[in-house]
Amino acid sequence: MAITDFSKEYHERMFPGYISKFLETDPEFIEQFDNFAFDEVVNQDDLDDRTRMIAIIATLIGCQGIDEFKAMVSAALNLGVTPVEVKEIVYQSVAYLGIGRVFPFLHGINDVLTARDIKLPLEGQSNTTTENRLEKGIQAQVDIFGDGMKEFCKSGPEESRHINHWLADNCFGDYYTRSGLDYKQREIITFCFLSAQGGCEPQLTSHAAANMKIGNDKQFLIKIISQCLPFIGYPRSLNALRCVNDAAAQMAKSSES
């Protein structure tokens, strides 16, 4: 087996002038992986490079692939993803993975940007205040999930109602309202966080439906799953596909009733 011309060209676009040491120590593996991930998978559909890279970066955070994350952040920047966009992906991941798992990625993105002589901190992207973050968060939930979310922050048993409140003011009010990524992009990365970490199938199904409601349709989500598969493997990719199918079936059933 030899590395295909397309894979070589795509690798050069991601990592100009870089030659992997694995070509010396693990040549058969690199040929096999690169031909699959950077030729067969890339050519499976028409997903643009920027969207592909945004999804892959979010997926690598979700699966805790810190070393590959730092490598692919460089590739993403070379393919047109902006420093602000990558920072926003990292920031939003805290709501879905927690700071305990995201902390290394905050250091990782700062290391990559600093190595490129990009001055930190980047321009602020916050659009809320302490006073309006709940209101803005509820509006974001309504914009994405529908009018049924208007009173969600007040729902549930009294002993745990505060968590629904936090979902509104923190998860959506603090993160989804920020500039740098739009709602469609934020739902893409949330889908990737959930699919990559596994064990979140109810939430993944819910966010698959949310994606479809705001224009990231079923076929688009299948493209996202396909492009991220080399980075998280088949089991979690197949679980994500099942959640997409379940969400699509539930939405179809709801529209018929």
**168-183 average pLDDT score:** 98
Percent of the chain with pLDDT over 70: 99
Quote the pTM value. 0.97
Residues 16-35: pLDDT tens digits?
Answer: 999 999 999 999 999 999 99
Q: How far is CA 48 from the centre of its chain?
A: 15
Query: What share of the chain in percent tops pLDDT 90?
Result: 98
Average pLDDT over residues 175-201: 98
pLDDT score, position 111: 98
Mean pLDDT in the chain?
A: 97
> Could you write out the three-class secondary structure of the chain?
CCCCHHHHHHHHHHCCCCCCCHHHHCHHHHHHHHHHHHHHCHHHCCCCHHHHHHHHHHHHHHCCCHHHHHHHHHHHHHCCCCHHHHHHHHHHHHHHHCHHHHHHHHHHHHHHHHHCCCCCCCCCCCCCCCCCHHHHHHHHHHHHHCHHHCCHHHCCCCCCHHHHHHHHHHHHHHHHCCCCCCHHHHHHHHHHHHHHHCCCHHHHHHHHHHHHHCCCCHHHHHHHHHHHHHHHCHHHHHHHHHHHHHHHHHHHHHHHC
* Both structure tokens of 137: 């968060």
Distance from the Cα of residue 88 to its chain's centroid: 10
Encode pLDDT of 87-125 as tens digits.
999 999 999 999 999 999 999 999 999 999 999 999 999
Burial 163-186 (b: 16+ CB within 10 A, else e): ebbbbbbbbbbbbbbbebbebebb
The rounded distance, in Å, linking the Cα atoms of 15 and 19 is 8
Q: What is the pLDDT of residue 176?
A: 98
- 88 touches 124 (CB < 8 A): no
**256 band by pLDDT with thresholds 50, 70 and 90:** confident
Q: Compute the distance between CA of residue 193 and CA of residue 76 in angstroms, rounded to an integer.
A: 17
pLDDT single digits (tens) 8-18: 999 999 999 99
Average pLDDT over residues 39-54: 98
- Residue 65 has a pLDDT of 98
Cβ 50 vs Cβ 82: under 8 Å: no
pLDDT at 257 over 80: no
Residue 255 has pLDDT above 90, yes or no: no
Scanning the structure block, which residue is given the tokens 């930190």? 120
- Quote the pLDDT of residue 1: 67
Pair 142, 150: CB distance under 8 Å: yes
pLDDT grade, residue 178 (50/70/90)?
very high
Q: How confident is the model over 141-151, as a mean pLDDT?
A: 96
Place of tokens 């490079």: 49
